[in-house]
């Protein structure tokens, strides 16, 4: 089946650092990528939706200047956490969209720890 | 507001028994329904999708859909310890939108 990859799988950084997370669709074109955040023992929280070639749509309460999303091609979407702080430490997961609903695959996730 | 409701659990089931997970949704026009499994520290994995009323079986898993009652369930037969995970119900109320429930934690007792 279709595969979505994420890189890096784990990152530890100092407070104030910006961190870029890449999400790639490996054998299909994902016109849409969804970005989620999940804190320990909490449910998935949709942060934003990125569409290839256009601006991302952010959910209420998510700062678009802090979480920069770029969907430059049909196979790559990136999420940059700017000036990360300890409260940004979380599990970030992307999910593909576009095409049939059966192409809705999650990436393996990126665990971000901000010291 | 479109919602998907699940009991958060934990649901404890003896090994070998049937685990029954339930989900209700608010948007009557929803057409596609999904069950994901998420192990601790991992991302969700799609295990079942169902689109029409009735049952759909895949191995030990059976998804059941009742659109009139706006209810979808997942049955796991012969439960194994490896089935212990959080199960997310998801509904596709409109094109390119999927709403996730908060998940039910399932614990299979050895």
Q: Given this model, what pLDDT does residue B74 score?
A: 98
Distance CA A25, CA B108 (A): 34
**Matching residue, tokens 């070998």:** B16
Find the mean pLDDT for residues B69-91.
96
Whether B33 has its CB under 8 Å from any CB of chain A: the answer is no
Whether B43 has its CB under 8 Å from any CB of chain A: the answer is yes
Distance CA A12, CA A14 (A): 7
In which band, very low, low, confident or very high, does the pLDDT at A103 lie, cut at 50, 70 and 90?
low
In this predicted structure, the answer to whether residue A82 has a pLDDT above a threshold of 70 is yes
In this predicted structure, the answer to whether residue A101 has a pLDDT above a threshold of 80 is no
Q: Given this model, what pLDDT does residue A98 score?
A: 59
The rounded mean pLDDT for chain B is: 93
The rounded mean pLDDT for chain A is: 89
DSSP state of B16: T
Q: Given this model, what pLDDT does residue B92 score?
A: 86
Distance CA A19, CA B42 (A): 20
Q: Which residues contact B71 (CB under 8 A, 6 or more apart)?
A: B22, B23, B24, B65
Q: Which residue in the set A34, A101, A111 is minimally distant from B32, CB to CB?
A: A101
Nearest CA in chain A to B105: A41
When scoring B4, B96, B104, B105 by the number of chain A Cβ atoms within 10 A, the one with the most, hence best to mutate, is B96
Q: Given this model, what pLDDT does residue A100 score?
A: 54
In which band, very low, low, confident or very high, does the pLDDT at A40 lie, cut at 50, 70 and 90?
confident
In which band, very low, low, confident or very high, does the pLDDT at A2 lie, cut at 50, 70 and 90?
low
Distance CA A68, CA A73 (A): 16
Find the mean pLDDT for residues B11-38.
95
- Evaluate whether B104 touches B11 at the Cβ level (below 8 Å): yes
Q: Which residue has the higher pLDDT, B25 or A54?
A: B25
| Residues A44, B42: C-beta atoms closer than 8 Å | no
| Residues A44, B88: C-beta atoms closer than 8 Å | yes
In which band, very low, low, confident or very high, does the pLDDT at B104 lie, cut at 50, 70 and 90?
very high
Find the mean pLDDT for residues B105-109.
96
| Residues A93, B34: C-beta atoms closer than 8 Å | no
Nearest CA in chain A to B94: A101
- Quick one: tokens of B2? 């479109």
Q: Given this model, what pLDDT does residue A25 score?
A: 86
Q: Which residue has the higher pLDDT, B65 or A102?
A: B65
Whether B102 has its CB under 8 Å from any CB of chain A: the answer is yes
In this predicted structure, the answer to whether residue B75 has a pLDDT above a threshold of 90 is yes
Distance CA A74, CA A89 (A): 28
């Amino acid at each position: 089946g279709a595969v979505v990859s994420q890189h890096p799988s784990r990152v530890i950084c100092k407070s104030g650092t910006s961190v870029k997370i890449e999400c790639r669709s490996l054998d299909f074109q994902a016109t849409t990528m969804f970005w989620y955040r999940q804190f320990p023992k909490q449910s998935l929280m949709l942060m934003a939706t990125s569409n290839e070639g256009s601006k991302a749509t952010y959910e209420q309460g998510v700062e678009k200047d802090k979480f920069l999303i770029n969907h430059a091609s049909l196979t790559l979407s990136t999420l940059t956490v700017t000036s990360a702080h300890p409260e940004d430490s979380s599990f970030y997961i992307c999910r593909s969209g576009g095409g049939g609903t059966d192409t809705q695959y999650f990436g393996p996730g990126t665990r971000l720890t901000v010291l | 507001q479109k919602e998907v409701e699940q009991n958060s659990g934990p649901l404890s089931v003896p090994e070998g028994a049937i685990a029954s997970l339930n989900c209700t949704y608010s948007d009557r026009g929803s057409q596609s329904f999904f069950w994901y499994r998420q192990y601790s520290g991992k991302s969700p994995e799609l295990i079942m999708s169902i689109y029409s009323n009735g049952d759909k079986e895949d191995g030990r898993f059976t998804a059941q859909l009742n659109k009139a009652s706006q209810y979808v369930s997942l049955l796991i037969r012969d439960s194994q310890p490896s089935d212990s995970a959080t199960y997310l119900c998801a509904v596709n109320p409109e094109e390119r939108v999927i709403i996730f429930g908060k998940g039910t934690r399932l614990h299979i007792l050895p």
